[in-house]
Structure 1
Amino acid sequence: MHPFFVAHTVWSFRKELQFVAIAFLIIISLPIIGVIILTHTGINIISDALVDIEPETQTILVKNPVDGSDTTEVSKQVVWPVQGIVTLEFAESSGYQKFHTGIDIASPRHRVGDPVTTFMDGTVIYAGEIFWGYGKHIIIDHGDNITSVYAHLDRIFVYKGQEVKVGDTIGNMGSTGWSTGPHLHFEIRVYGIPVNPKSFFSTN
């Protein structure tokens, strides 16, 4: 083969490798960049604007994350999933994360086994365990782009696809996953974005 064609082929191959490498770096960096942007600059502002309560009717207003307009009025009953002591508030920093995506509620008796109930009617979309982070946890879809998470459980009493009513016992408080003691990590997401659970309660 002529030296020119050899050199041109090697140059083209190198340029293709560079293009592939740059594209790969961009692809794997996008989620990281997104997390950094949401965590450190925007998530608190966005989440604060996603849920509101109409004071006269006590209706929960779910807002459009793009322009802040009301998209849904939710009249479903809500209850706190467990009684206890709040040990870490929403958006506070902890040893595990700079932005806490829910509320941690510890057992008043400092023991495993207190019942955990669903805060609103819905359908279980996940019930299982990972050996880090949430540990044993449940995720419930409440419709209207609202989901809730109940983490660090000791036992799980529901299964994927099960319909649950507000106040149904779905598990027991525990200390699985990244946990320093018996408590419930209670998290609510709207359009997949964590919001302050207290936003759903008229007296918070």
Structure 2
Amino acid sequence: MSKVKYYYDPETLAYRKIKVKKGKKVGYVFLFLLASALFGFLCFVALLNTPYFETPKDKLQAREIENMRIRYEILNHKMDQVEGVLEDIAERDNNLYRAYFNTSPIPDEQRKAGFGGVNRYKELEGYNNSDIIVSTSKRLDIISKELVVQSKSLEEIAKLAKDKEKLLAAIPAIQPVKNEDLRRVASGYGYRSDPFTKIRKFHAGMDFSAKTGTPIYATGDGVVRRADNRASGYGNHIVIKHGYGYETLYAHLSKYKARVGQKVKRGDIIGYVGSTGRSEAPHLHYEVHKNGQPVNPINFYYGNISAKEYLLISEMANQENQSLD
């Protein structure tokens, strides 16, 4: 039961009961209800922002975030494996492939360089899981760049290998006359006695003594640059341009089996032994030129003779006897 309130009336000198108007009673009730509702709302908001109260939507988002975190961890683990494979490939690339082709290795700073300048990951910042997202994105970008660098390196190695194969095929690496067709190596590279003047002069090639009509073989892949008798002393002769600075000359032929502009392979028959031009007897005069200068052909016979045969030919070629041209 509510307390009755009184007030003192000075006119009647007596206490009178205070009568509350109905409108005020309603106002008080309304204010109480409003304050209660406001207090309840504030308490609800406070509960929503505590870890002790989660809505179904919050629980779903939490599960999705945890699932995303786990996936990023798995992705980082896979990137660890990819980086390990890339490091192994880079190691072989630098120390095996590029070393074999005498090419400078690619430094790690170039392979693993990041991306300078503008912040590429600004839009990923400011979230609860920004650290793992940004770090993973950086690793993916660096791995992608490493793959591009390695791909270009392997393309370069493939080109070098192709060029190396062409170079090996172009080097004059066999004897122009087979051993079974030889009578002897009549003269070698260096100063020899001229058969006509008997004066000691420089002999720029090797003389292979053989019967007229003995096949002559191209000693490396190339293109026939000359096939004529217009050079003094050589008679019928062929010049093959092999590329990479190499040329070979075959002189005193009895007849040709190659024409100017023809592509030949090592081992192809290009002509036959004869004694045309300035020649004392049937033989092949053979020269090897590197960058326009004659070099000793004995250094190139590694493609079709044994070590024992090479030593025998070398001994005969090094004798300072009389040449046949």
TM-score bracket, shorter-length normalisation: 0.5 to 0.7
2:229 paired with 1:136: no
Distance in 2 between residues matched to 1:131 and 1:190, nearest whole Å? 19
Q: CA offsets, 1:107-142, max 9 Å, x none?
A: 1xxx31000010001000000113741000000000
Distance in 2 between residues matched to 1:106 and 1:130, nearest whole Å? 23
User: Which stretch has the larger CA shift, 193-202 or 135-144?
Assistant: 193-202
Between the two structures, name the one with larger relative contact order (CA 8 Å, sep ≥ 6).
Answer: 1
Specify the SS of the correspondent of 1:92. Answer: strand
Higher strand share: 1
Specify the SS of the correspondent of 1:116. Answer: strand
Distance in 1 between residues matched to 2:270 and 2:294, nearest whole Å? 21
Higher helix share: 2
Tell me which of 203, 212, 230 is aligned to 1:100. 203
Tell me which of 241, 247, 253 is aligned to 1:147. 247
Tell me which of 50, 53, 75 is aligned to 2:168. 75
Tell me which of 287, 290, 306 is aligned to 1:190. 290
- Could you tell me the TM-score, scaled by structure 2's length? 0.38
Closer/same/farther in 2, CA of residues 161 and 95 from structure 1, 3 Å limit: same
2:224 paired with 1:121: no
CA contact (8 A) 1:131 1:177 kept: no
RMSD: 2.1
Distance in 2 between residues matched to 1:131 and 1:161, nearest whole Å? 18
Amino acid across the alignment from 2:207: D
Distance in 2 between residues matched to 1:94 and 1:170, nearest whole Å? 29
Could you list the runs of 5+ residues in structure 2 that have no partner in the other structure?
1-99, 101-162, 311-325
Specify the SS of the correspondent of 2:212. Answer: coil
Moved over 4 A (4+): none
Q: CA deviation at 1:92?
A: 2.9
Specify the SS of the correspondent of 2:299. Answer: helix
Could you list the runs of 5+ residues in structure 1 that have no partner in the other structure?
1-58, 60-71
What is residue 212 of structure 2 aligned with on the other side?
A: 112
User: Which stretch has the larger CA shift, 151-160 or 78-87?
Assistant: 78-87
Q: CA offsets, 1:137-174, max 9 Å, x none?
A: 00000000000000000001111110000010000100
Q: CA deviation at 1:94?
A: 2.6
What is residue 261 of structure 2 aligned with on the other side?
A: 161
Distance in 2 between residues matched to 1:105 and 1:190, nearest whole Å? 21
Aligned length: 131
CA contact (8 A) 2:223 2:241 kept: yes
Larger Rg: 2
Amino acid across the alignment from 2:176: P
Closer/same/farther in 2, CA of residues 171 and 90 from structure 1, 3 Å limit: same
Q: CA deviation at 1:182?
A: 0.5
